[in-house]
Amino acid sequence: MKVNGKVIVVSGAGSGIGRELVFELLKRGATVAAVDISAETLAATFELAGDARSRMSTHVVDIADREAVNALPDAVIAAHGAVDGIINNAGIIQKFVLFKDLPLADIERVMTINFYGTLYMTGAFLPHLLQRPEGHIANIASMGGFLPVPGQTIYGASKAAVKLYTEGLNSELQNTNVGVTIVFPGAIATNIALNSGVMTKEQLESGAGSGYKTTAADVAARTIVEGIEDKKYRVLVGSDAKMMDFLYRLMPERAAGIIYNQMKNLLPE
């Protein structure tokens, strides 16, 4: 689906990939409904959009709140007259701890935001997308959704759920006007650790968790939007995601071992 002239909803639009998705879509002529739980970061995205913000609305919504999500389509349509696509980008990671040490409340929070948030958003907007001449749904999973990342086991499980849910949705929407894309980013240069509450600003500024090659958020956004415009079934973002996708399908145990060796220094001893 070409995004020029279309109305696209982007969740997690206050920072990282979500913010860059807003800018990329606006640059290509789309109208954007930007959604985020943080009014402050959402306002910053709006200001940074410059003159293009005339084609943008902001909506402070917690995607884990089903009632708030169910009210969102009406708000978007009231602002822009229609909705043609959604990009379910909002998500959080977990603390870098073993499963046995992760509190149940943290597990439920990760699953609710990453999986149920995507489910709520898709369920709320799909009836409207089906009424449009052309519509599209893009769900952001993760490289951690198709291979195991120690210390992020629950995060990976939530993204694996997004993966299969999206693939099933794609099959169900064959022969309709709505296309579906699943996205697998690798390591992206964002502040997701800070936003997820697993790392402080001081830790980030000190370089904690650094040393891994990352893909810039604007490059990731461009790759995702190009995938939507090309109606791709799946999009791999970053050389790491592409390499590990190939290796995991070829030699899954070896691929898991490679990721373990890269991540083990982040695990508690």
Catalytic annotation, residues: 155
* Nearest-angstrom CA–CA distance, 197 and 124: 28
Parallel, antiparallel or unpaired: strands 31-36 and 85-88: unpaired
Tokens read off for 268: 């508690």
Task: Tell me how far apart the alpha carbons of residues 60 and 49 are, in angstroms, rounded to a whole number.
Answer: 17
* Tokens representing residue 40 in the block: 């402050």
The separation between the first and the last C-alpha atoms of the chain, rounded to the nearest angstrom, is 48
Beta bridge partners of 21: none
User: Is residue 42 within 8 Å of residue 58, measured between CB atoms?
Assistant: yes
Other C-beta atoms within 10 Å of 259: how many?
Answer: 20
Alpha helices in 66-113 (DSSP H): 66-80, 104-111
Cβ atoms of residues 163 and 248 within 8 Å? no
DSSP string, 80-113: HS---EEEE-------SS-GGGS-HHHHHHHHII
